[in-house]
Every structure is written in C-alpha cells, then in structure tokens.
Amino acid sequence: MGNSVIDQNITERANVWLQNNYDEDTRLKVQELIDTDPKELTDAFYKNLEFGTGGLRGVMGVGTNRMNRYTVGMATQGLANYLKKMFPEKEQISMAIAYDSRINNTFFANTTADVMSANGIKVYLFDALRPTPELSFAIRYFGCQTGVVITASHNPSEYNGYKAYWEDGGQLISPHDKNVIDEVNKIQSIDEVKFARNENLIEIVGSNIDKEYIARIKSLSLSPEIIEKQKDLKIVYTPIHGTGVKLVPESLKAFGFRNIYNVPEQDIPDGNFPTVKSPNPEESAALNMAILKAKEVDANLVMATDPDADRVGIAVRNDKNEFVLLNGNQTATILIYYLLKKWKENGKITGNEYIVKTIVTSEILKDMAINAGVEYYDTLTGFKYIAEVLRLLEGKKQFIGGGEESYGYLVGDFVRDKDAVISCCMIAETAAWASEQNKTLYELLPAIYLEFGFYKEQLLSVVRKGKEGAEEIKQMMENYRAAPPASINDSKVTMIKDYLISTEFDLENKTENKINLPNSNVLQFFLADGSKISVRPSGTEPKIKYYFSVKEDFNDALKFDEMNHQLDMRIEGIIKDLGLD
C-alpha cells in the first residue's frame, strides 16, 4: 500500500502533521498510516473535525478529523479568542473544566487547561472525574465565563468529546455557538495555538464543590418526613463505569436513604465500558446487571446513569413483581406529577411557576401543568434550549422542573443542564412518596392516566447512511412538506407545525400562527384522535427520527394492560400507514 492509492489532498494534509511543530509520537503514527493504511489515513484527514454547536465529538486518534491534542487545542484557542472579544474589560476571565471516565479524559482536560491558561485565562480544574451537571454548577458557583467538560456521553468507547458552556451554566446557544465556531475556523495552523501551560492560573478543585453541590441538591427535597419513614426503601444504582459512582450514592444518602446497593463490577470508572455493549441507559441491556442485583437483594427501584451522569434510566417492579423499564416520557410523567402535587400540597404554587419540556416530549406534562395552575414552555429538542428558558425567566418566574423524552430531567435552577444526580434523588423521593400511599412507581402510572388520559409514546429511527442516505432523508422531509398527509391511520390531520418556517397550520379553522421558537428542521402532525407525530433528521447521526405519541381516555385501572396494548397497536398502525414498517 502506498501513496498511489491515496488522494493527493489527503497526502498533503497528512504531510503537514509530519512537521516538527507536531510531537514525535504523532508524526510516527501519521507516517505509519501513510505507509500502511490508506483507508484509515483518508478517514483521519479528509476533513476537519467540526466544532459544532455543542463542541467537538469524534473518534480518538491522529488527524484533522480525530480527537487529539491538536484538534482540541485549536478548538480551545478559538474559544479563548472569543472570550477575549466578549469580555475585553474583565480583569480575569475564568473557566471550569471537568471530565468523565472516557479514555484520554485527563489528557484532553489538561490540554484544555494548558491552552486556556497560556492565554491568560483562569482555570478551575476538577481533581478527578465529575458529572457533567456539576460542571454547570461549578461555572455558576465560581462566576466563570465559560466551561468545558470532556465527554462523549454514551458513544462507543473509541469516541471522546468536548462540550462547551457559557457563563449562565448552559451549553452554548446562539449567537455564542456560531461565533465560537467562526473563531475556531479562523485558526489555520497549529502554530496559532498557545500550549505553554501557566500553572499560576490553574486551580485544582474538588470536594468543596461536591459538598456545595450536594447541599443544594438536598435543599430540593419536598418530603423529608416521608423519606424518614421510607428510608429503608431498597435502591440499586449503577454508574455504568461513569462519573455518577461517587455523587449519586452520596446524594441519596444525604436525602436520607439507607439501603443503596451498588453493582461492584460497574462501579469501576472505565472508558472501555467492559460490562456493557453500550453505556446508554436508554437501552435495556445496559441495566441487566443492575436488575440482577435488584432481584438478589429484593430491591424496589433500579437506576442507571450514563458515563457523564446527565441522563438516567430506571426499572421498577410491575404488578407481576417483574422488573420493567420505564421510558423517558414515563419517568418524566411520574417525576413532574410528583413535583406538581407536592408544590401544591406545600402551598408553594402562587401562579408564577412553570415547567419546561421539549416539543417531542409527552403532552401529558402540559396537561398536568395546566391542571396545577402552572405555566408550561415548549422548546426545541436539546436541553440547552430548556436552559435558555431558565436564563430568560431568571428572577421573574419560579422553575419547578422539566425534562425531555431522551432520559434527561432537571429539578431546581442552580444547574443549567439535565442532571442525573438530582434526578436520581428526586425519583427515589417520588418512589418513597408512592410507597407511603402503598403504591409502587409502576402503580403511579395508571393513577396518573385515570386523571389525565392514557398517553403512550414510541421513538422510531430510520437509518440512511452515506451521501445517498442524506439525500434521501432530505427528500423525505421535502415530500412531507410538499404533500402532507390529510389523515394518518384513519384519523384526520387537524394541525401541522413546521418549525423550519416557524408556522403552525390549523387545518380545522384554516388559520396560521407563528411559532416563537428558532427555525429547526422539524415537522409535527396532530391528529383528531389526540395522536402527535414528530419527524426530524438527526443532527449527529445518519437517521431520520419519528416520535409517536398516542392518547386515549382511561377510566379503569384494572384495564391498564389492555389499554397499553391498544395504544401499541395504534402506534403500529401509524407506522404502517406512513410506510415505515
């Protein structure tokens, strides 16, 4: 294998990395690719690893399209340049840096600290792995202008990532996201990056922040007296080799829970995630070991967090005493139901409170908020948009809680991202509250549905890889817009929301209304029978996503299984009618 099979542009890009301003180990690895592996060389150098609206994410290795010292350095230099433009009068710009359990976690965290400190920016660097939401908390606690967490969430082990935050503790949003991207793209050479670490500007932080964070989490408790009665509730928790290993059990204990069982094999932070195929709590297999432990100790509740501990999946016992997994919408329903009930019971609802959900999350959250006399806000998918609502309403209205169907939730406003540490504590408190009423979390669902109707949701991802796949997905969205269905599964389409043009079409009244959200390539179809179908291309993967939500009146808790099956069949009918089966 030689240069003859490699595109000349790829060779030229790779040869830049053979120069002396790159370290010897990098040069040797690049030369090895040139000599032996044209396919890998092409993939590593055919483009630059894109600094997107959330930061960087990619496979680790040498090359312009990989996560390595140089791509991270250039991204950090771009962020530093933007900070200096935005805060020219500030005597000391500062940032916080955290990292999860992934391979090269401390290396990339220290690379970020090197470049920021070399640019005269004060760095608060965590002494060991920490959850992503604690990074958000630390930004606000220290009064930083930005923050970075090294994480690739639940991606496979060969990936790492770099997620950037702004001074409010939320992920970068417009205009900062696009402006930082512009600054990163301006950097044409590694020689423009300052790598000379300034130790005087780097402060190592750790346990003191943990204590403050846990104390704030504990202050969220709405039923301490119930937890005292139910403190022996048996909880199995697994961090799936990630950052929740320390803070989730500590926070649960701070709440008052005493019977917390770990899964020892998964308590070990390990970026290879050796006990699971994927460290994703949305996938049932990721909870297998925890459920086995729960059966062994006769636990009431199972909780699993992803590697950076911002999302949580749970399993509960059903009416047959079997463990079943709740999906993200069901967990959000139970959690928000509890929060609203307790806020009302505790006399905390004054008419100035609100919850937030994303447009693809269950509409039952809206129904519950309206019933409780609480405002609700819809946002685009992505928790950064929920954080934006919190920022805009800060000091004006009181945030109760919010969430999204993809297993991310938040209670309280001292963190500005989804927070699995908080969520685990509040879910456990909800379980204690239910137990006080002689109910399990599973039995809460039919009780809620009796009050608000039975909602059932399902996500379907249709994968279309490569250039042809991207074109097919684009055409599918164009077709839906050019010729929207008049009915789906024998139910009339009564409303269409097109977020690309920010317009809502009421087909019943033949009116149009503006949607006050940023433009996004999302379509929603609302049906006469209460169903909602949302369609959007994934922003990070070669797939188009369909979110199905169906609803039916419910008046007999004993017919829960029957109604559940009936709604599953309705979703199957929608899928078949759309030609997706």
Q: What is the pLDDT of residues 469-491, one digit of tens each?
A: 888 999 999 999 999 999 999 99
Confidence of residue 540 (pLDDT cuts 50, 70, 90): low
Q: What is the pLDDT of residues 233-290, one digit of tens each?
A: 999 999 999 999 999 999 999 999 999 999 999 999 999 999 999 999 999 999 999 9
Max CA distance (Å), the chain = 75
Q: Are residues 470 and 442 in the same domain?
A: no
How many residues are listed for the chain in this entry? 581
Q: Are residues 362 and 478 in the same domain?
A: no
* Domain assignment of residue 69, given as a range: 52-205
In the annotation, is 153 catalytic?
yes
What average pLDDT does the segment 1-15 reach?
Answer: 75
Q: Are residues 176 and 243 in the same domain?
A: no
Q: Are residues 199 and 235 in the same domain?
A: no
Which of 205, 238, 255 terminates a domain? The answer is: 205
Is a pLDDT exceeding 60 seen at residue 340?
yes
Q: What is the pLDDT of residues 376-387, one digit of tens each?
A: 999 999 999 999
Q: Are residues 174 and 245 in the same domain?
A: no
CATH number for the domain spanning 515: value is 3.30.310
Residue with tokens 């301003």: 21
In this structure, the dihedral spanned by the alpha carbons of residues 325, 331, 333 and 334, taken in order and rounded to 10 degrees, is 90
Q: Are residues 200 and 160 in the same domain?
A: yes
Q: Are residues 113 and 29 in the same domain?
A: no
> Are the beta carbons of 254 and 231 closer than 8 angstroms?
no
DSSP state string for 94-124: EEEEEE-SSTTHHHHHHHHHHHHHHTT-EEE
What angle do the packed helices 244-255 and 420-436 form, to 10 degrees? Answer: 40
Percent of the chain with pLDDT over 70: 99
Is a pLDDT exceeding 60 seen at residue 87?
yes
Q: Are residues 239 and 348 in the same domain?
A: yes
Q: Are residues 461 and 493 in the same domain?
A: yes
For the chain, the first-to-last Cα distance in angstroms comes to 44
Q: Are residues 124 and 243 in the same domain?
A: no
Q: Are residues 439 and 320 in the same domain?
A: yes
Q: Which of 101, 153, 362, 491 is catalytic?
A: 153
Q: Are residues 264 and 340 in the same domain?
A: yes
Residues in a beta bridge with 353: 398
Which of 188, 205, 222 terminates a domain? The answer is: 205
Which of 179, 205, 231 terminates a domain? The answer is: 205
CATH number for the domain spanning 158: value is 3.40.120.10
The pLDDT of residue 469 is 83
Query: How far is Cα 546 from Cα 459, in angstroms, rounded to an integer?
Result: 6
What average pLDDT does the segment 126-144 reach?
Answer: 98
Statement: the pTM of the whole predicted model exceeds 0.75 = yes
How many structural domains compose the chain? 4
